[in-house]
Amino acid sequence: MLEGFRQDGRLDVSFQPHDPSLGPLSFLTRIKFVRTVAREAAYVAQLLWKIPQVDVVHTFSASYWSFALAPAPAIWVGKLVGTPVIVNYRSGEALDHLTHWPRTAHPALRAASAIAVSSGYLVDVFSQFGFAAEAIPNVIRLDQFRWRKRDPLRPMFLSNRNFEAHYDVANTLRAFALISRQVPEATLTVAGDGPERGMLEELAESLALRNVRFVGPVANAKMPELYEAADVYLNSSRIDNMPGSLIEAFASGLPVVTTNAGGIPWMVEEGRTGLLVECGDPEAMATAALRLLADGQLAARIAAQAREEAERYTWEAVSRQWEALYRSVAEKGAR
C-alpha cells in the first residue's frame, strides 16, 4: 500500500514501524523482556511525535499481544491528540481474541475512528461484539502472476501455507496420500516453514509419500514460479481470514481446493471459483481434487471464473476504497 500510494501520488503517506530501531541503545535487544519494553517505549515516543503531523492513522492489527503492543498505542495516542485512527484488523483469530481479551481489545476498538477488515467474515465477527466494520479486501499485483490455462490438468499439486497448527498442512499430506493411491504419478510441492516442519516431514515419511517435495521457505519474488509449475492448489487451514495465497492461485490459473475455514467462503464460491471442503477431512479434500482431475471442463471453468474474481483485489479497485475511507474519517475527525 505504501508503494502504491507513493507511486500514484494521490496521497502523502509515511510508515511507522512498531519495532523501531533503538539506535545507540540497540544493545538492549539482547536482553529478554527488556527489549520488548525498550522497543515499546521508543514506539510510543515516535507515535507521540508523528501522529499530530498527519490527518489519518492507518494501523495494521493482528490479535492478542500483537494488538496490545502495536495498534492499541496508536489508537490511544490518536485519541489523545485528536487524530482519527483506522484499525485495519486482519487476523482470522478475531473471534477468540475479542471473546477472551475484552479488557484490552474492546475499549481500544471503541476509541478507534473506524475498523476496516479484509473479509465479510470479519465484518460478521465484529458485529457480534457490537462493532461496525467495513470490508476492504487484500491487494494483489496481478502483473506478478501469469495466468496459464491447464489443459490437460496435470496431477501436480501445490501447498504454500506455513507449518503452523492452524494451517493444518498435515491434512494436505493425508489428502495427497489418498490421491496418490488413485493417481500414483501425482506430485505435491510443499513450500513453507514453521514449528511443525519436523512433524510434517515425519508424517510424509510414515505415509510413504514418494512424490512430495519440501522446498522450505520461498521468497515472495519467487512464489510466482511455484504457481506456474503447479496445476492444482490445496489449502487445509482450520483458522483463516482472507489468505492471499488463494488470490495468487486465482491469478495464476490454478483451480483451488480449500477448507471452508473462517473467511474463505467469502472469497471462494463453491463450484464457481473453487471447491470447498470441511476442515480436518482429508477424504473430502482428496475426493474434490480427484473430481477436478476427472473433469477438465469443471477445472477450466473454475480457473477462468477465479481469474475474474481476482480482479476485485487489484490495486486500482482496492486503493479507491481506502482513499474513500481515509477522506471520510478525516472529515469527521477523531471521536
pLDDT value for 334: 57
- Which residue stretches of the chain are H helix? 2-8, 34-50, 64-69, 71-81, 94-100, 102-111, 120-128, 169-182, 197-206, 223-229, 244-252, 282-294, 296-310, 315-332
308 plus 319 within the same structural domain: no
pLDDT attached to residue 192: 96
In this structure, what C-alpha cell is assigned to residue 316? 486500482
- Please report the pLDDT score of residue 335 as a whole number: 54
* Contact of 133 with 89, CB cutoff 8 Å: yes
What's the whole-model pTM score?
0.81
Concatenating the DSSP letter of every residue in 141-202 gives -GGGS-----SSPPSEEEE---SSGGG-HHHHHHHHHHHHHH-TT-EEEEE--STTHHHHHH
pLDDT in the model for residue 23:
79
The angle, 0 to 180 degrees and rounded to 10, between the axes of the packed helices 296-310 and 282-294 is: 100
Say which CATH number the domain at 306 has.
3.40.50.2000
For residues 261 and 293, membership in a common domain is answered with: yes
Which residue range forms the structural domain that includes residue 132?
A: 2-139+314-332
Give mean pLDDT, residues 239-259: 95
pLDDT category of residue 68 using cuts at 50, 70 and 90? very high
Residue pLDDT, tens place only, 169-220: 999 999 999 999 999 999 999 999 999 999 999 999 999 999 999 999 999 9
Together in a domain, 215 and 153: yes
Same domain, 123 and 152: no
Asked if residue 53 and residue 80 are part of one domain, the reply reads yes
- pLDDT bracket for residue 54 (50, 70, 90): very high
Which pLDDT score, from 0 to 100, does residue 30 have?
75
Q: Which grid coordinates are listed for 197? A: 516442519
- Number of structural domains in the chain: 2
Looking at the structure, do residues 308 and 318 belong to the same domain, yes or no?
A: no
Nearest in space to 261 (alpha carbons), one of 244, 243, 274 = 243
For the segment 276-297, the average pLDDT, to the nearest whole number, is 98
Return mean pLDDT, the chain: 93
pLDDT in tens, 112-154: 999 999 889 999 999 999 999 999 998 888 889 999 999 999 9
275 and 176 within one domain: yes
Q: What pLDDT is recorded for position 242?
A: 87
